[in-house]
Amino acid sequence: MEHIQRHPARVARASSRLLDGLQRWLPKLVVAPTFVLVGIGIYGYMLWTGVLSFTSSSFLPVYDFVGFDQYAKLMSNDRWLTASVNLGIFGGLFILSCLLIGVVLAIFLDQKIRQEGAIRTIYLYPMALSMIVTGTVWKWILNPSLGLEKLMHDWGWTSFSFDWLVNSDMAIYTIVMAAVWQASGFVMALFLAGLRGVDSSIIRAARVDGASLPLIYWKIILPSLRPVFFSAVMVLAHIAIKSFDLVMAMTAGGPGYSTDLPAVFMYAHTFTRGQMGLGSASAMLMLGAILALIVPYLYSELREKRHD
């Protein structure tokens, strides 16, 4: 900078000042629209939803404040309780199964096998489908009068029965199946990348010490993949909480409302039943659930950075 300012030519000085100014303002200018959009589009509307959740809004927003009435209503609503329990079942099983299947697949693929690229693509491919497609396909496969059960009956195994999709106690597990099928390939890719990043000299050292391969994975490699675990859980948890399209495509919340998830509940009440206040309250609780996951995560991440 000083070097330029000492330069004798005035023209150059003027243009350099311009450049200088540009240099300082350009980055801010470039990110400004994004900031405004994110500020209004995400945080602004989040606030607005928060405000609406304290009003008696029916099918249009009104600003008649009723305190925590909508939250109280929500807590005594059977359907919301079902949706929350379902989220627990769905989220828990979905995250655990995806992690388990993803890790196992990643370890198998990491054994320097032939055609690894092709196999990896095949496993990752479900992620390329939208949840609507996944949901529709699984709905057809699991429909007793159309898919698997009918096929088995046609092949002569007439005692075969698999009616989970139309059984209100079991239907939520079919959603887990479809979601796991969709997302476990992605988890596999995450772990595979992690595995490739493990320092091979550590593994060689362990080998020299006579550790078996399973032991090396269990005691050395997997613990070193802790950050990958965190990222995977974060991504899967928010897929689970905002899960909407899969349920709509597969069961539309049915039979009855046995496969309702909070997002489905929120949509139904806000947009089709004219209960914007109640819907907003449920949306705020979903936000709370996500914050409860993200805040500790961010905290631990940021703290680790400071140690570095």
Contact set with other proteins (CB under 8 A): 58-61, 73, 76-79, 139, 143-145, 163, 165-166, 168-169, 171, 251-252, 254-258, 268-269, 271-275
In the complex, least distance from residue 273 CB atom to other proteins, rounded to whole angstroms: 4
In the complex, least distance from residue 114 CB atom to other proteins, rounded to whole angstroms: 43
Of the pair 183, 250, the CB lying nearest other proteins is at 250
In the complex, least distance from residue 39 CB atom to other proteins, rounded to whole angstroms: 21
Length of the chain measured in residues: 308
- 205 vs 155: CA distance, rounded Å: 55
In the complex, least distance from residue 231 CB atom to other proteins, rounded to whole angstroms: 35
Of the pair 89, 252, the CB lying nearest other proteins is at 252
Of the pair 77, 224, the CB lying nearest other proteins is at 77
In the complex, least distance from residue 63 CB atom to other proteins, rounded to whole angstroms: 13
- Residues contacting 148, CB < 8 A, separation 6+: 141, 142, 162
The helix, strand and coil proportions of the chain, stated in percent and rounded to the nearest 5, come to: 75, 0, 25
Of the pair 131, 222, the CB lying nearest other proteins is at 131
Is residue 173 a contact partner of residue 179, using CB atoms and an 8 Å limit? Answer: no
Of the pair 120, 153, the CB lying nearest other proteins is at 153
- 230 vs 300: CA distance, rounded Å: 11
Check residue 260 and report its DSSP letter: -
- 38 vs 53: CA distance, rounded Å: 21
